[in-house]
Structure 1
């Protein structure tokens, strides 16, 4: 009886390891030799989706959105740091960092340009609110160019 349980356990583990040991990536199905435009279209669609995801993450959430927080607190960047502004700047910096982590290069540069003044203010260096306004305008233009509708 123990031999049967042991054999069953060994077979189960072997099947589990075999299932988990598959390839990490799935190669695209081979198509006709003349269909070189399909991967390009797929790449463009993926890039557009990533930009829209970045825009959605920045603008989504109504009063809790990153955009709303940035708009509400950017004017305080050149003021002395208070407990309330430190907390707000930390939240903004953290939320922007989470967006930056998964964004493409274009949006990353814009998100970092928005984030940097908040990080500077947290470090005790007054920052220019106009820098944030310019970076937000660039991000907004990129999002609109890629078909994202900016919530009002």
Structure 2
């Protein structure tokens, strides 16, 4: 039984190797970008970016930003680092999905939180200004929170 199992395993390896050969007509040949990694996701429109920023009630990015704006004036502490990290990370996720214009606007909101987490301090007025730009962007896109 062992020689049979070894032969089956060898056959499977050879079959997989043949399929992976460039130009062999196998799966790798059908999708030249498959070897390059996952395809880039399409960016979401401005309205979807606004929904993601505002969805979640008191736990939305919008509400969290408003609640924790003053914290960026100082380096993050053990008491507030979880909240600041949550805001930074959720904004980073949105930035990755957003179109270039909205992404740069969200980056302006994210940056002071990242600065605080890195041990620096930022001006809370910068967060407020950037959040106002997000609000105008969403209004211009027809989004109503």
How many residue pairs end up in the alignment?
116
Q: Aligned to 2:140, which of 117, 124, 145?
A: 145
- Distance in 1 (alpha carbons) for counterparts of 2:73 and 2:133: 21
Residue 96 (structure 1) aligned with residue 98 (structure 2): no
- Distance in 1 (alpha carbons) for counterparts of 2:100 and 2:75: 33
Matches within 5 A, 1:56-75: 56-75=51-70
- List alignment gaps of at least 5 residues for structure 1: 1-16, 25-45
- List alignment gaps of at least 5 residues for structure 2: 1-25, 34-41
State the match for 2:109 in structure 1: 114
Q: Aligned to 2:127, which of 132, 139, 143?
A: 132
State the match for 1:54 in structure 2: 49
State the match for 2:72 in structure 1: 77
- Distance in 1 (alpha carbons) for counterparts of 2:87 and 2:69: 10
- Distance in 2 (alpha carbons) for counterparts of 1:84 and 1:71: 17
RMSD: 2.6
3-state DSSP class of the match of 2:122? Answer: coil
TM, length-normalised to structure 1: 0.66
Deviation at 1:106, TM superposition (A): 1.1
Deviation at 1:82, TM superposition (A): 1.7
